[in-house]
Structure 1
Amino acid sequence: MAALGEALAPFFGQCWPYDSVLGHVLRLLTRSAGDAAAAVRVAALLPAASMRNVAAQLAASQRTPVLRSLLAGELPTELGACLLHEMILRRKSVAGVADAWAPRLAGHPLGALPLHPLPGETRMPLAGFGHGTESAGFPFGPSRVDPITVAGTVPEVVREPAPAELTAAVTTWLTQSNGRAEAAVYTVSAALDAETVGVRTVEALGLDCLAGGGLALRRASLDEVVAILFFAAAYGGAYDHGLGGAHGRAAAWRSLTALADGSHVGCAWWTFDAANDWFHRVAWDLGVLCLRQGGHVMAVLAATDSD
Structure 2
Amino acid sequence: MSDRIQKIVMRLPDLKSVTKVWDTAERRLGQGDVAFVADLGIALTDRYGSSAAQIWQYRSVFDRLLRLLTTTSGQEHVEQTLRLVSAASPGNGKLVRYTASLLADGQTPQDLTFVFAGGSSRAAASEELRACLVHELVLRGVTVAESPQIEAWATSPHRRHHPLAWLPLELLAIEETPPLPSYSVGGGSYSMPYGPQDGPGVTLGRVTRLPQVTDTTTEKFSEAAAAAVANWAEESNGHSEAGRYDLTEPVETEALPDLLVTLGLQCLNGVGPRKRLALSSCRPEQAWRMLFAAASTGGAYNNGDYGAYGRLAAWRSLAALSGASTAAPVSEVERNAQACDWYSFGAATKWFDRVAWDIGLVSVAPGARRISVLAATDTD
Question: How does the TM-score come out when normalised to structure 1?
Answer: 0.92
Mapping of residues 261-280 of structure 1, within 5 Å: 261-262=323-324, 263-280=336-353
Q: Deviations over 1:183-204 (max 9, x none)?
A: 10000111236x4554223223
Which of 76, 91, 95 matches 2:141? 91
Stretches of structure 1 that go unaligned for 5 or more consecutive residues are: none
The AA in structure 2 aligned to 1:86 is: E
Change (3 A) 1:197 1:225: farther
Mapping of residues 41-80 of structure 1, within 5 Å: 41-45=83-87, 46=89, 47-74=92-119, 75-80=125-130
**Distance in 1 of aligned mates of 2:195 and 2:300:** 14
Give 1:13 shift.
Answer: 5.4
Mapping of residues 221-300 of structure 1, within 5 Å: 221-262=283-324, 263-300=336-373
Give 1:208 shift.
Answer: 1.7
**Distance in 1 of aligned mates of 2:127 and 2:312:** 16
Change (3 A) 1:146 1:87: farther
**Distance in 2 of aligned mates of 1:238 and 1:2:** 31
Give 1:231 shift.
Answer: 1.2
Higher radius of gyration, 1 or 2: 2
**Distance in 2 of aligned mates of 1:289 and 1:306:** 22
Mapping of residues 179-218 of structure 1, within 5 Å: 179-192=238-251, 195-213=253-271, 214-218=276-280
**Distance in 2 of aligned mates of 1:265 and 1:72:** 38
**Distance in 2 of aligned mates of 1:250 and 1:122:** 16
The AA in structure 2 aligned to 1:187 is: D
* Paired position in structure 1 for 2:377: 304
Change (3 A) 1:265 1:12: same
**Distance in 2 of aligned mates of 1:39 and 1:301:** 39
**Distance in 2 of aligned mates of 1:223 and 1:237:** 21
Which of 154, 157, 164 matches 1:101? 154
Stretch of structure 1 that moved more, 247-256 or 145-154: 145-154
**Distance in 2 of aligned mates of 1:209 and 1:217:** 13
Give 1:142 shift.
Answer: 4.6
Stretch of structure 1 that moved more, 258-267 or 51-60: 258-267
Stretch of structure 1 that moved more, 180-189 or 144-153: 144-153
Stretch of structure 1 that moved more, 182-191 or 158-167: 158-167
Q: For the Cα contact (< 8 Å) 2:192–2:293, is it kept in 1?
A: yes
The AA in structure 2 aligned to 1:199 is: P
Aligned sequence identity (%): 38
Give 1:240 shift.
Answer: 2.1
* Paired position in structure 1 for 2:7: none
* Paired position in structure 2 for 1:115: 169
The AA in structure 1 aligned to 2:373 is: V
**Distance in 1 of aligned mates of 2:113 and 2:199:** 41
Stretch of structure 1 that moved more, 57-66 or 138-147: 138-147
The AA in structure 2 aligned to 1:160 is: T
**Distance in 2 of aligned mates of 1:51 and 1:246:** 11
Change (3 A) 1:99 1:203: farther
Which of 175, 188, 193 matches 1:134? 188
The alignment partner of 1:33 has SS state of coil
* Paired position in structure 2 for 1:24: 64
Give 1:107 shift.
Answer: 2.3
Give 1:147 shift.
Answer: 6.1
Which of 203, 210, 233 matches 1:174? 233
The alignment partner of 1:298 has SS state of strand
Give 1:146 shift.
Answer: 5.9
* Paired position in structure 1 for 2:73: 33
Change (3 A) 1:298 1:100: same
Q: For the Cα contact (< 8 Å) 2:228–2:291, is it kept in 1?
A: yes
State the Cα RMSD in Å.
Answer: 2.1
The alignment partner of 1:264 has SS state of helix
Q: Deviations over 1:70-107 (max 9, x none)?
A: 22333201111111111111101222223422334332
The alignment partner of 1:120 has SS state of helix
The alignment partner of 1:111 has SS state of helix
The AA in structure 1 aligned to 2:183 is: F
Q: For the Cα contact (< 8 Å) 1:169–1:232, is it kept in 2?
A: yes
- Which runs of 4 or more aligned residues in structure 1 lie more than 4 Å from their structure 2 counterparts after TM superposition? 142-153
Q: For the Cα contact (< 8 Å) 2:196–2:346, is it kept in 1?
A: no
**Distance in 1 of aligned mates of 2:39 and 2:102:** 19
Stretch of structure 1 that moved more, 177-186 or 7-16: 7-16
Q: For the Cα contact (< 8 Å) 1:185–1:300, is it kept in 2?
A: yes
The alignment partner of 2:245 has SS state of strand
Stretches of structure 2 that go unaligned for 5 or more consecutive residues are: 1-36, 120-124, 325-335
